[in-house]
């Protein structure tokens, strides 16, 4: 084990990558369902094309137009499936930390889409309130994606069934603020000061490592920002991530 505080060694690349893969595992069912939809349409259109071409020596304009439409639908659905996979691979890919200009709303929306399909299966709605005038954020994209995805997965798990997750972005006192609010079970007051501690989890045995929020806390601190929690039992929780819009010395190191 490395020397230093738990927050330091938890940010070791191996822990970050392992936690990423764990998050992807939790998303597998929803992503699989989302990819199945375009695959079903592709199969349907291919079957139609095969029918139109079967035992036909001559195709009229109506059949040719139908074939063209089917090809267009196939291309559209292949692009759709490719975009889903691209978002997932972009999140999973191991990269060296790089501070770059980021469109916060697009980054947050990419992560929201990864969670949304499985959330819908549980009748959980994702509500967006994105600030269209939010300036460019200079930060580490892959690490920030990991934070947002983990918070969204936690919100989904806290709601369990029939609820709402609200995602808000805004410009706040020189910072970019990303707020994720859920209508879930909430966190008891006696656990609020432990929630970012390594290995602390309120999930049942075998359903959580207790590393996700600790890693999120460490990443946000390393990016020069802060993460705060407000929660009430049986009403829900609100996580607020704030990151400086301007470059700060030492950020990302």
Q: For residue 4, what pLDDT is reported?
A: 45
The strand pair at 137-140 and 99-102 is best described as antiparallel
Strand blocks (E) in 112-221: 124-129, 137-140, 163-172, 175-182
Instruction: Go through the domains of the chain in sequence order and give each one's CATH number.
Output: 98-244 (3.30.565.10)
Q: For residue 17, what pLDDT is reported?
A: 62
Q: For residue 144, what pLDDT is reported?
A: 93
Give residues with Cβ within 8 angstroms of 65, minimum separation 6.
none
Residue 54, SS3? coil
Strand partners, 82: none
- Name the DSSP class of 11: T
The mean pLDDT values, 10 residues at a time, for the chain of 253 residues are 46 60 62 72 79 68 77 80 68 66 95 89 95 94 89 92 96 94 92 76 56 80 92 94 75 53
Give residues with Cβ within 8 angstroms of 68, minimum separation 6.
none
Give the CA distances from residue 107 to residues 115, 138, 249, in Å, rounded to whole numbers and listed in that order.
13, 12, 23
- Name the pTM for this structure: 0.64
Nearest to 175 by CA among 122, 124, 248: 248
């Amino acid at each position: 084990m490395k020397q230093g505080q738990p927050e330091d060694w938890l940010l070791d690349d191996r822990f970050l990558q392992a936690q990423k893969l764990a998050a992807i595992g939790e998303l597998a069912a929803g992503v699989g369902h989302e990819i199945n939809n375009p695959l079903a349409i592709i199969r349907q259109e291919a079957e139609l094309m095969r029918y139109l071409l079967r035992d036909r020596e001559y195709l009229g304009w109506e059949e040719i137009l139908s074939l063209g439409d089917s090809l267009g639908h196939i291309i559209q659905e292949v692009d759709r499936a490719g975009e889903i996979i691209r978002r997932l691979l972009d999140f999973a890919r191991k990269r060296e930390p790089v501070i770059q200009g980021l469109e916060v709303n697009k980054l947050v929306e990419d992560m929201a889409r990864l969670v949304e399909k499985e959330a819908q299966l549980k009748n959980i709605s994702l509500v967006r309130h994105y600030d269209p005038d939010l300036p460019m954020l200079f930060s580490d994209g892959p690490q920030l994606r990991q934070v947002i995805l983990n918070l969204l997965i936690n919100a989904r798990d806290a709601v369990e069934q029939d609820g709402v997750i609200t995602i808000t972005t805004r410009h706040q006192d020189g910072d970019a603020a990303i707020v994720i609010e859920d209508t879930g079970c909430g966190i008891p007051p006696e656990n609020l000061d432990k929630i970012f501690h390594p290995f602390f989890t309120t999930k049942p045995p075998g359903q959580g490592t207790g590393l996700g929020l600790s890693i999120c806390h460490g990443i946000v601190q390393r990016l020069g920002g802060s993460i705060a929690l407000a929660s009430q039992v049986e009403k829900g929780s609100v996580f607020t991530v704030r990151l400086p819009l301007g470059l700060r010395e030492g950020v990302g190191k």
